[in-house]
Structure 1
């Protein structure tokens, strides 16, 4: 089984279909927007964004994941990214902003900001605070042909750790993770961003823009 540095099983991500993420982004951004996708994985969202008419540059630190992406790719850690280019939209999905490490989160947001064109926007998918209060072991569902179940949920202050169990085609995988509860105002202030509005009814997606100077 091929697994990335953060524990993501590549075979599972190849089986997972898009789940409406690209449509949320598409509805929030200009037509034919240039998009820098941070943490693209194997292109599950990338390919749908391209179908919707956007030019996408996919960034991931896993060559194994990027080998399946049908778009321009960059293999790099998000926080280290310096392309010398600007984009209409920077996409930070997959709850990456909820990383347990504050330094990693600040580095990701700084990378997003330095790649935004004037007037551009950052689109973020996160775990809102309410999720941390309600999520429990045993929750899950089916996405495409993959059965997904959350297990071993443990809370420790603002941190939540759990294991995601996947099953498909007679095989099973698991991925452990730890994420941090965030205050939205503190998050935006730390990155010198302003809130641009909720993009989904469940408030798991929002837009942000660089704070104006002067």
Structure 2
């Protein structure tokens, strides 16, 4: 089956490639990392989690093992075939409307940096639409030097090398980022469109969606817990926007 790629995104290498250039087999090989521990420390025990952009379930299974209930969403059926133990939904995240809410909505994998502003707005609206009253949205941001410390490479303890080869401006504040993943036996590449967001720009994007930062969860500020803005904050934002439009 031919997969239609998102404009500006590309992936190469063996196996299925998703519309945003992700290689299913590569992500199946990717080690878990510290993300499940960061998430577990930031949310109530036994929470119901909506995982947006779950991929092959790299974080899904560890979260299940920690006692959470997870609904995993991804636009790639090939990715979701690798997810075990969780309810799975194949859909575009920015258009998702399940008609239910969750204690925690998880938006990882730097999706908040989508090059298309309307896609980013759709992603954040999906988060707001699905988070329960009193719940939280956990978001993973890019590192502060993601677009400037280029080229660079990192040798992972599991045995592969990740190289950010280039991050070239393509207009409207967006960069085309090219990454290589080199294993002893196989190589994958991915090209994505990414919009740098410093802390102020990130918080402005959250405010536009009716969210605010509750806390930065890691010293590098890459993991964030956001909550719904209060009524007074949302009203003040609306008044400010209306005045700016006049």
- TM-score, with normalisation over the residues of structure 2? 0.82
Structure 1 stretches of 4+ moved >6 Å? none
Deviations 1:88-132 (A, max 9, x none): 00000000000010100010111111111110000000115x224
Relative distance call for 1:12 and 1:116 in structure 2 (3 A) is same
Q: Which residues of 2 match residues 1-214 of structure 1 at below 5 A?
A: 1-70=15-84, 71-128=86-143, 130-132=144-146, 134-142=148-156, 144-155=158-169, 158-182=173-197, 183-214=201-232
Please list every run of 5 or more consecutive structure 1 residues that lacks an aligned counterpart in the other structure: none
Give SS of 2:94's match: helix
Q: 8 Å contact 1:59–1:75 — kept in the other structure?
A: yes
Relative distance call for 1:113 and 1:36 in structure 2 (3 A) is same
CA–CA distance in structure 2, aligned partners of residues 146 and 115 of structure 1: 36
Please list every run of 5 or more consecutive structure 2 residues that lacks an aligned counterpart in the other structure: 1-14, 233-246
- Give the alignment's Cα RMSD to 1 decimal: 1.5
Which structure's CA Rg is the greater one?
2
Give SS of 1:139's match: strand
Q: 8 Å contact 2:100–2:130 — kept in the other structure?
A: yes
Count of residue pairs brought into register by the alignment:
213
Give SS of 1:105's match: helix
Higher strand share: 1
